[in-house]
Structure 1
Amino acid sequence: MAPYRGAILDVDGTLVRGDDGLPGMDTGIRKLREEGIDLLLCSNNPTNPPEDYVERFAAHGVRIDAEQVLTSALVTAEFLEAEHAGSDLFVVGETYLRDLLRERGFALRNDPDAVDAVVASIDREFDYETLAQAFWALEGGAAFVGTDPDVTIPAAKRLVPGSGAILNAIAGVAGREPDRVLGKPSREAGAAALDRLGVPADEILVVGDRLDTDIALGDGIGATTVLVRSGVTTPDDLAEATVRPDYVIDSLGEIETVLGDGA
């Protein structure tokens, strides 16, 4: 039996790319489950509810429960509940994030002079007027929170701009960095993942394709880290990395080599 009881798995670039399952995804998940390892899918995508992941993986013949999905939107909502309860928000983001924050009791306002915090995220309808309003809210002293730092995200054929691109645009015009950026690799994301798994960090694998989010998250909580080459990290990125993974494999399908090494 492997010495691991939990695994935090990145989604895009690790398990899937667009709607397509990556090679080894199903066999890797099956092997982890055969070893009795509890799984948590952890994504910096703030645009989809956990139920969408259930359907997405069911299409590939893989069963995932909604409770096994943690997204940057959920981490952000939990942070705001803890640190900004009752705040009025100006939200740069898409429908799911907005609906989630309303469900958690926040009022979303379009008046930049009447909000307590700006929450910034990927928004594929982001425009000049929205940028101006976010700028004005921050000029008025609103708190500045981002859902996740991903400047780019993998789509079906190539990388596209992510939440980090929106954050950088707002930060640039406002002349200030976000007060908090949630999602991986933040301490809030790490704490939320540990809480959901209920397993000590030294008995957890963190598997992902990004050094600055997935591997940094695992390093931050003290877990064993596994980089997969199926996503965005290049050999040059790995050679120059300051945060280095414990293992590097081509895909999740090779996770058995990690489990065997730790047995």
Structure 2
Amino acid sequence: MLDLTNFEGYFFDLDGTILLGDKLLPGASEVVNRLRHQEKCLRFLSNTTTQTAEDCCLRLRSLGLEVEAGEIVTAGQIAAAYLLSHALDPKVLVVGAPALSREMVRSGIEITADPLRASHVLVGMDTSFTYAKLHEAAKAIRAGAVFVAANPDANCPVDGDLLPDTWPLVKSIEAASGVGPHVMTGKPSQYYGAQIMQDCGLAPEACLMIGDRLDTDIAFGFQNGLATALVLTGISHNSEWDAGQRRPDYVWNSLEELVSAFSSVF
């Protein structure tokens, strides 16, 4: 494994890693500025389906972090890329937030509300999920539509609470349709990893994945051959490791520890 300062690509999760709520986390601004000064490849990899990359960019800039929308990758973008690469003319029934539908439309994917026309059912976080949406999604899948889950997240931390995210909706649709998801395209999937590595043009071993969740961020690194760093500023904690479970290469209390490692080098 490379020395901590010698990676060419540094991939950061957003919520719980770079920011929490409406505040940047300690060390976030400093580490991004140092890496940018060294002309490293920076990417911010989110499993969000409720915000577009542009939404995320505006949010980060409002907190004082200078990023470009092209450096941000969302689960919605990855789902759109998957649909376009696996279907000639997908017609997608979306269960999700307006941002997920906007991502499909921007990518040139047709959205349909007719379950009998849908070639795919795409599920993301949906705070307006209803019995009617459950029925329509299950009906489409029973009629042959391919079931796509945008991420495997069970919950989303918001203002000290945990809101149900994508996976509870996926499981309810699975129960109603009798069919599980054909694919999950978000972190930690290898499809997501392949898209990022192609985008950056780097070998996996030259990259470090930094995040706060063992089940998505760190698992993403493991599945895609990246070095991994867990920050204890979000969801996961040291106590969650099982005996014999593979551990991240680095564990930090916050990104300030990465800043300290860089201080003697650049």
Deviation at 1:81, TM superposition (A): 0.2
Q: For the Cα contact (< 8 Å) 2:84–2:90, is it kept in 1?
A: no
| Aligned Cα root-mean-square deviation (Å) | 2.1
Number of aligned residue pairs: give it.
263
Per-residue displacement from partner, 1:103-127 (whole Å, max 9, x unpaired)? 3232222221221111111111000
- Aligned twin of 1:105: 108
Per the TM alignment, residue 259 of structure 1 is displaced from its structure 2 partner at its CA by 5.6
From 44, 47, 52, the equivalent of 1:49 is 52
Amino acid at match of 1:218: G
> Given the superposition, is the C-alpha separation of residues 36 and 87 from structure 1 closer, same or farther in structure 2, using an over 3 Å criterion?
closer
Cα deviations by residue, 1:146-180 (Å, 9 ceiling, x for unpaired)? 11111111212222111112112111222222001
% identity of equivalent residues = 31
The alpha carbon displacement at 1:258 in A equals 5.7
Q: Distance in 2 between matches of 1:249 and 1:165?
A: 30
Structure 2: gaps of 5 or more residues? none
Q: In the alignment, what sits opposite 1:236?
A: 239
- Counterpart of 2:166 in structure 1: which amino acid? S
Alpha-carbon distance between aligned partners in 2 of 1:215 and 1:100, rounded to the nearest angstrom: 26
Matched, 1:221 2:215: no
**Residues 1:129 and 2:136 aligned together:** no
The equivalent of 1:85 in structure 2 is 88
Contact kept, 8 Å, 1:26 with 1:253, in 2: the verdict is no
3-state secondary structure, aligned to 1:233? coil
SS in structure 2 opposite 1:112?
coil
Contact 1:19–1:156 under 8 Å retained in 2: no
Higher relative contact order (CA 8 A, sep 6+): 1
2:251 alignment partner, one of 244, 248, 254: 248
- Corresponding position of 2:17: 14
In structure 1, what is the Cα distance between the partners aligned to 2:102 and 2:246? 36
Structure 1 runs (4+) greater than 6 angstroms displaced:
260-263
Secondary structure (helix, strand or coil) at the match of 2:121 reads strand
1:173-209 CA-partner distances (Å, limit 9, x unpaired): 2222200111101111101111222221111110000
TM-score (norm 2): 0.92
* Equivalent runs, 1:75-224 vs 2, <5 Å: 75-224=78-227
Is contact 1:86-1:105 (8 Å) kept?
Answer: no
Residue ranges of structure 1 left out of the alignment (5+ in a row): none
Note the C-alpha offset of 1:85: 2.8
Whether 1:39 aligns to 2:42 is yes
